[in-house]
Structure 1
């Protein structure tokens, strides 16, 4: 922990940083921390340290910072150093005014005022000045300074050049692989949009909605219908309120129709237009609506037209195996029905739904796929999840022999007193090959209750061997075999006593408490005796040797059950950090796809237990739990947050990479733009470095004979939808929210072009061949056993009581 805190302070610019005092408020579950540093810290650095402490402690942290050493001088006397810290803090605290601060000059005046000299045109970008007042309050709380933040225009500075707003319609057309043009006119067909109300509107008069200002007057705008509300008055008139969006802005529109039949007809036309996904062309006056109390387009004429949609024109189609819907909370924006419909329209054979940690989109996905298939558009919804893998264990080949451990101990001030050690060397079938037993004279008094339970006496202890001698003999007895215990206590205690005598005893072991709980969940009491009783085996009566025998008997039932579940490898746990693994260890992303009905049951099981037993900020899936419930599942290495990509990024040796990749059924690579943030934060030098990471994963797949698939990690359907995800990411606190990766649903040609650097043959394999092979191996599944049945929980006696 100390090393971790030291690194936390160092990485955030704190010289000689440390925690000098911490007080826990148990009632509020809140930790008050006093931290100190020999260097001044920005508000962002303080917040990063506070969040790091929160992650380390697992509870809310309130931090106060004190500056020592050179930073202990009166802050008002720090001059340039303080000015620089306040300047950077202002940028961190108020990201919305960062554009106005580009090229600005900062001056700290007598430690009392921070004066900003802004380029022409930037002062207006600060709005009402609330951001500056917020900064003043933050400076007062963090540094104890009453600093006034003043802003003024400096005509001597170069005016700020703002980037042009992107033309999202052109971006969509480019992504579709064609330029925007009118379709060829058919003989006798009318040109332009069809008329829904009033007179014909010329599409050439349309302007982007973000160019509509309050003084524009009469205007022609276009867009898709985002909302529609129709009200019928008492005298039969219709008030139609609707909003349309062209992805540069969304404007409200209002229309009043006196004739009832005309109102009903237009309502039906608008509803049909919205259902078809066509765009409206609206002409009207942009004025203040007194009833709505906002600017609104008062409609005179309405037309409708079809916007060209992106198509996948490749002769051989890809399959997307990594897609997030709106059910990926505060992350995905994709409407699952639209995603399935798009894949079907493009001619894709299947599409995978892999939301973060949940399966809520499955019913809509399957329903949409079935409906399209019945209509002649064959499409299969592949059911999966992007889970959070908790590395709680290491998977190893099954050993030939095992050591079943048992100890008798009692709590002591520094280290538990050790009275008895027993171990059995056994085979996988439970045959006892050899027995180890020592009574230990540790110099402590035997508690009466322990004497009654085990049959030991103080006289027997006096004739026992020393702790060092017992542990030395045990170490030699255990050599070449795998330790097995029920819970980490015995292994951790033996290791601690060994360390005290200069001996290194094993810390990795097979934990039967974890494995038994996952295998036989109907056993409510999580004890060795309870599990043995449920298996109709004799429970241990007390003493280390009885415990070792009970452990051996339980192992003889666990191993066949692992075989039945096709879990060929053995999970090994680390006794010393097992608790930290449950609470603090980082997770990795992982793709889990249901291949068949048993796989879907296991997928539901994993998601359920992740929420019920392993939820900490996110629903985590322990590696051991996945290993025991992997039948019918296809497991992929996921995105840059996956264990494999992180290992490649860290430059782990080939042996380690092979060991990590071994547990996955397929390896995943993504377009380099998805991981462009790695170049911005300096972890990767350039785009070629990102390609090299993908090349490394491809080479690893070839060496291990594992398929490599290219996915888009889809979070929204269209390229111009990125602006909406930027809003969500900003709300979640991401500083680079505006630097959105192009996580839209890509066509086959787009993906082939993206991975052309792998060569034509390999690009075709990762984009088309391998994803389709995985899709073909997955059955068409239903999210429920019966579409007519319900699965509400039952409570005995509830009906009678109600």
Structure 2
């Protein structure tokens, strides 16, 4: 029987011909008047419609046909529900009703019924258009198998949510493209302000000549003022007559915040409202006066301009990796969503980022999704609470003040223990890795979390040191912050021998900027009585470097990040105040720092050593960490309960 390449090798590109060229031509029909060609091919492997569509178009264009249609036939034995995604492409390409409902769909085959499991809903819509009959007819045509088709919704489809998500994704993609273009546009700074002068666009009134002043310097009797700020909130009210609107908006430059109010005819104010809502940052010039209605001072704008802020970037040629970072999932401590932190690291060109929330890993799914979307490696981690149970074997029956507990950083180095299929008893099992080595880093971390939250929870989830020693395979253990075992021992004045013994337990030693630990200088605690200056904070870090060098362990400089930008310290102060901290307003600079900022922090170590601890060692650790999926692709292996469906339908 003739092969496709016998007649069409000159009309189909080499890559597609390699995949389909050896298929047998079962039928070859030419309709000369209609300039139409119909082919039926017999294939020995499943292909998706995109390949067939390319071949159809190539032949049609090469032979100057009006239409070319290729039909597919397979041997019956080739039918396999694992290929359902490829089979369904022949439906999705021609029937727009499908509308993404088959994305990530699975299938089950039992009692001559093929059940398509829909992960994006749509069963009612598909059934109303008899799509199940289309699939049945397609399988009969391609495989000569007569079966019924049914749809099962694994998750109901929310049309409004889908539209919102699609619009959001489109906006994010547009913003990403604009940000990429923006990298190569030269700008002019507006005075010493973090604004680009050449990006100013008129929204209302005349061009503003005065430079904005900080909002904290605005006084009630200033009269006309010019300020700039990010738009925080907008509010619109119609007047009783209905032909005018009152538009209020709040702006902040993060030294303070002000309100502005505009009263105008609808035809004038509507475009102004839209532009301010979309502006992000504005410069406002107007009269600062008392408003009787709101009972506060506000601006009556004469002129408004939109402007772009200078965005902080990491411009170092070789960039650092942050290995100690908290998200909003560090309860009542971190304040920034995981996605924003990951996006910032990716935008700065960092190759990886670690998430190390206190005692939990709930941020990892969101962070993982953001890392995949932005092309950056995510390091799965946690900051745990360690108890040396060799010193305190009965710590669960002791008062908290009677035993020491310390912070510790755990980073998952490798894991391939994910179950990938079900066995004959419907239990999830994993296949043997090619090298025969099973890595259980993630599993070990999860077991430590479970144990500390269920069996050794005492005010917080505590990890016994003996258990960590058993479960540390494929986990990198770091010495953490000033609450870590090693720095606490330095503060207590332990001997060099004891410090080295403690340091041996860790895979790497962590040091942090002086600002993180500056609270010790003002502290009245006995533990901090010898810390009276920044120089003594530096000496602690130098001591850790000395110990690490002697033991051959890497030192990494981390920021112990709790919020994204310096200005966000105010928001964390509110949280700390609610927890009863008297010094809540004196926030440590726990923001996400650039490479140059961190190199400056550790310049006292010398240029070469600072580069090693800030850049080289963290990047080396990031390279040691393997990338793996958080969950099995396509399957979550829920428990199979005997007669569950029958019980539910009773």
Output the TM-score relative to the length of structure 2. Answer: 0.59
2:599 equivalent to 1:752:
yes
Who is 1:306 aligned against?
Answer: 308
**Structure 1 alignment gaps of length 5 or more:** 1-179, 374-378, 395-572
Asked whether the 8 Å contact 1:611–1:619 carries over to 2, the reply is yes
Question: What's the secondary structure of 2:539's corresponding residue?
Answer: helix
Asked whether the 8 Å contact 2:486–2:502 carries over to 1, the reply is yes
Using the alignment, how far apart are the partners of 2:562 and 2:478 within structure 1?
18
Higher mean displacement: 735-744 or 630-639: 735-744
Asked whether the 8 Å contact 1:193–1:201 carries over to 2, the reply is no
2:572 equivalent to 1:725:
yes
Question: What's the secondary structure of 2:356's corresponding residue?
Answer: strand
Using the alignment, how far apart are the partners of 1:706 and 1:238 within structure 2?
66
Asked whether the 8 Å contact 2:441–2:475 carries over to 1, the reply is yes
Match of 1:623 among 456, 462, 465: 465
- CA deviations 1:185-235 (Å, max 9, x no partner) are xxxx9857212334332351x222123344444432211122344567895
- CA deviations 1:101-159 (Å, max 9, x no partner) are xxxxxxxxxxxxxxxxxxxxxxxxxxxxxxxxxxxxxxxxxxxxxxxxxxxxxxxxxxx
Who is 1:195 aligned against?
Answer: 202
Higher mean displacement: 318-327 or 751-760: 751-760
Using the alignment, how far apart are the partners of 1:368 and 1:266 within structure 2?
34
Asked whether the 8 Å contact 1:392–1:578 carries over to 2, the reply is no
Deviation at 1:801, TM superposition (A): 10
Using the alignment, how far apart are the partners of 1:794 and 1:633 within structure 2?
35
Distance 1:260 1:628, change over 3 A: farther
2:611 equivalent to 1:769:
no
Asked whether the 8 Å contact 1:350–1:775 carries over to 2, the reply is yes
Deviation at 1:388, TM superposition (A): 1.4
Deviation at 1:766, TM superposition (A): 0.8
Using the alignment, how far apart are the partners of 1:751 and 1:214 within structure 2?
41
2:251 equivalent to 1:244:
yes
Distance 1:687 1:785, change over 3 A: same
Who is 1:679 aligned against?
Answer: 521
Distance 1:578 1:742, change over 3 A: closer
Coordinate RMSD, CA, aligned = 3.6
Asked whether the 8 Å contact 1:392–1:581 carries over to 2, the reply is no
Question: What's the secondary structure of 2:380's corresponding residue?
Answer: strand
Question: What's the secondary structure of 1:341's corresponding residue?
Answer: helix
- CA deviations 1:290-314 (Å, max 9, x no partner) are 5545443344432111222222222
Who is 1:640 aligned against?
Answer: 482
Question: What's the secondary structure of 1:251's corresponding residue?
Answer: strand
Deviation at 1:267, TM superposition (A): 4.8
Asked whether the 8 Å contact 1:237–1:257 carries over to 2, the reply is yes
2:397 equivalent to 1:579:
yes
Using the alignment, how far apart are the partners of 1:737 and 1:793 within structure 2?
51
Using the alignment, how far apart are the partners of 1:703 and 1:190 within structure 2?
53
Deviation at 1:795, TM superposition (A): 13
2:304 equivalent to 1:334:
no
Asked whether the 8 Å contact 2:236–2:245 carries over to 1, the reply is yes
Using the alignment, how far apart are the partners of 2:452 and 2:517 within structure 1?
27
Deviation at 1:643, TM superposition (A): 0.6
Match of 1:708 among 523, 531, 555: 555
- CA deviations 1:313-371 (Å, max 9, x no partner) are 22211111111222223322334333223222322111212222222322332232222
Question: What's the secondary structure of 1:303's corresponding residue?
Answer: strand
Who is 1:521 aligned against?
Answer: none
Using the alignment, how far apart are the partners of 1:783 and 1:236 within structure 2?
56
Who is 1:349 aligned against?
Answer: 351
Match of 1:221 among 211, 227, 232: 227
Asked whether the 8 Å contact 2:359–2:449 carries over to 1, the reply is yes
Using the alignment, how far apart are the partners of 1:580 and 1:641 within structure 2?
20
Who is 1:176 aligned against?
Answer: none
Asked whether the 8 Å contact 2:188–2:198 carries over to 1, the reply is no
Question: What's the secondary structure of 1:243's corresponding residue?
Answer: strand
Matches within 5 A, 1:240-279: 240-256=247-263, 258-259=265-266, 263=270, 265-274=271-280, 279=281
Using the alignment, how far apart are the partners of 2:272 and 2:414 within structure 1?
48
Asked whether the 8 Å contact 1:392–1:582 carries over to 2, the reply is no
Asked whether the 8 Å contact 2:333–2:572 carries over to 1, the reply is yes
Who is 2:543 aligned against?
Answer: 696
- CA deviations 1:69-122 (Å, max 9, x no partner) are xxxxxxxxxxxxxxxxxxxxxxxxxxxxxxxxxxxxxxxxxxxxxxxxxxxxxx
Deviation at 1:640, TM superposition (A): 0.4
Distance 1:792 1:641, change over 3 A: farther
The aligned length equals: 429
Question: What's the secondary structure of 1:311's corresponding residue?
Answer: coil
Using the alignment, how far apart are the partners of 1:788 and 1:253 within structure 2?
53
Distance 1:368 1:240, change over 3 A: farther
- CA deviations 1:620-657 (Å, max 9, x no partner) are 22223333332332111100000111112212123322
Deviation at 1:669, TM superposition (A): 0.6
Asked whether the 8 Å contact 1:255–1:298 carries over to 2, the reply is yes
Deviation at 1:665, TM superposition (A): 1.3
Deviation at 1:771, TM superposition (A): 0.2
Matches within 5 A, 1:86-125: none
Who is 1:399 aligned against?
Answer: none
Who is 1:380 aligned against?
Answer: 377
Asked whether the 8 Å contact 2:197–2:307 carries over to 1, the reply is no
Using the alignment, how far apart are the partners of 2:279 and 2:643 within structure 1?
51
Deviation at 1:728, TM superposition (A): 3.3
Using the alignment, how far apart are the partners of 1:232 and 1:625 within structure 2?
65
Using the alignment, how far apart are the partners of 1:635 and 1:271 within structure 2?
47
Who is 2:81 aligned against?
Answer: none
Who is 1:605 aligned against?
Answer: 447
Whose RCO is larger (CA < 8 A, sep 6+)? Answer: 1
Question: What's the secondary structure of 2:336's corresponding residue?
Answer: coil
2:598 equivalent to 1:591:
no
Using the alignment, how far apart are the partners of 1:254 and 1:588 within structure 2?
52
Using the alignment, how far apart are the partners of 1:259 and 1:626 within structure 2?
67
Who is 1:362 aligned against?
Answer: 364
Using the alignment, how far apart are the partners of 1:786 and 1:692 within structure 2?
49
Using the alignment, how far apart are the partners of 1:601 and 1:352 within structure 2?
17
Matches within 5 A, 1:358-757: 358-373=360-375, 379-393=376-390, 574=393, 579-580=397-398, 585-597=403-415, 598-681=440-523, 682-757=529-604
Distance 1:261 1:725, change over 3 A: same
Asked whether the 8 Å contact 1:661–1:667 carries over to 2, the reply is yes
- CA deviations 1:531-583 (Å, max 9, x no partner) are xxxxxxxxxxxxxxxxxxxxxxxxxxxxxxxxxxxxxxxxxx746x6622889
Higher mean displacement: 692-701 or 285-294: 285-294
Output the TM-score relative to the length of structure 1. Answer: 0.48
Using the alignment, how far apart are the partners of 1:690 and 1:615 within structure 2?
32
Deviation at 1:243, TM superposition (A): 1.9
Using the alignment, how far apart are the partners of 1:238 and 1:628 within structure 2?
68
Question: What's the secondary structure of 2:398's corresponding residue?
Answer: helix
